[in-house]
Amino acid sequence: MTQPATVLVVGASRGLGLALAEEWLGRGWHVIATARGRSAGLDALAARFPGSLEVESVDINQAATVEALRRRLDGRRLDVLFVNAGIARAIEASPASASEADFLDMMLTNAFSPVRAAELLRDLVPAGGTVAIMTSELGSIANATGGWQLYSSSKAALNMLMKGYAAKHADGGHAVLLVAPGWVRTEMGGSDALLSIEESIPRVVDMIEANRGRAGLRYVDRFGAPLPW
Ligand SMILES: NC(=O)c1ccc[n+]([C@@H]2O[C@H](COP(=O)([O-])OP(=O)(O)OC[C@H]3O[C@@H](n4cnc5c(N)ncnc54)[C@H](OP(=O)(O)O)[C@@H]3O)[C@@H](O)[C@H]2O)c1
């Protein structure tokens, strides 16, 4: 009997990460989903998909928790590693008004820690597999209009760090995807966002599957269209 494909979603307690886990479970995949604490959403998915969902504990800002997960997954194979975790703080602010702490928190959580997680976990993904990180349309410097200035900067920094990651691991044989999901109604996106989760996440998963086996770095929207850096 062939094993189902496996995806690890880092940051899946709620919002888009929880929806990614649900979407892949619905497609018959085995899902490893991480949360920082108890997640009612993941508990509900575990009840709906018994045996197909493993829930793990990771805070991407605590390297030791990522390293411990790597050890627990020793010998496992991930078809897709998807680092989704992210935060938005001080979205109306500029450096003239924001707290340094809010900016540093976003740079750590949205830029440094996701790439560190990819570095620590990437050897579980064989050649032909996929490493995906949730970025944003707002991470595009070329398209920037000044909105969500500090958050946008953290996603631009993520994109830059992934340029370095992809160059360093150019012979890894992975599709490396910086994924922009659109503006989606979650706690982060808010109620004014243009898209429902159902309008975004199934397209994201379709796009990840369409990119399977296509090695190299791409910054793309949910339909797979390239975005300007
Ligand atoms: N919604 C949008 O319109 C939109 C657009 C573009 C990009 N994005 C990106 O999509 C991703 C998910 O956003 P969302 O809208 O679903 O946001 P959300 O509803 O606020 O959920 C954020 C998720 O990230 C997790 N997280 C935050 N800090 C973490 C950490 N240090 N370690 C592990 N997990 C952590 C949260 O876990 P806890 O429950 O423990 O806090 C939660 O699961 C983010 O990277 C975001 O920047 C969102």
Pocket test for ligand 1, best of 8, 10, 14, 32 (most atoms within 8 A of CB): 14
Return mean pLDDT, the chain: 97
Closest CA to 121 of 156, 76, 164, 61: 76
| Ligand 1 pocket member 87 (CB < 6 A) | yes
Handedness of CA 76, 10, 36, 156 (dihedral sign): positive
Residue nearest (by alpha carbon) to ligand 1 atom 20:
188
102 pLDDT exceeds 60?
Answer: yes
| Ligand 1 pocket member 193 (CB < 6 A) | yes
Residue nearest (by alpha carbon) to ligand 1 atom 23:
85
Average pLDDT of the residues in 9-27: 98
| Ligand 1 pocket member 114 (CB < 6 A) | no
How sure is the predictor about 1, in pLDDT bands with cuts at 50, 70 and 90?
Answer: low
How sure is the predictor about 3, in pLDDT bands with cuts at 50, 70 and 90?
Answer: confident
Q: CA separation (Å) from 165 to 72, 133, 141, 183, 216?
A: 24, 12, 19, 26, 11
Q: What confidence tens digit (pLDDT) does each residue in 83-99 have?
A: 999 999 999 999 999 99
First to last CA, the chain: 43
The Cβ of residue 163 has, within 10 Å, a number of other Cβ atoms equal to 15
Domains and CATH numbers, the chain: 6-221 (3.40.50.720)
Is residue 29 within 8 Å of residue 6, measured between CB atoms?
Answer: yes
- The number of the ligand 1 atom at minimal distance from the alpha carbon of 187 is 19
- Residue 2, pLDDT score: 76
Closest CA to 176 of 208, 204, 139: 208
Distance separating alpha carbons of residues 148 and 150, to the nearest angstrom: 6
Q: What confidence tens digit (pLDDT) does each residue in 33-53 have?
A: 999 999 999 999 999 999 999
Question: Strand, helix or coil at 184?
Answer: strand
Q: Which backbone phi and psi does 150 adopt, to 5 degrees? A: -75, -45
Cα 152 to averaged position of ligand 1 atoms, centre (Å): 14
Residue nearest (by alpha carbon) to ligand 1 atom 7:
136
- Residue 152, pLDDT score: 98
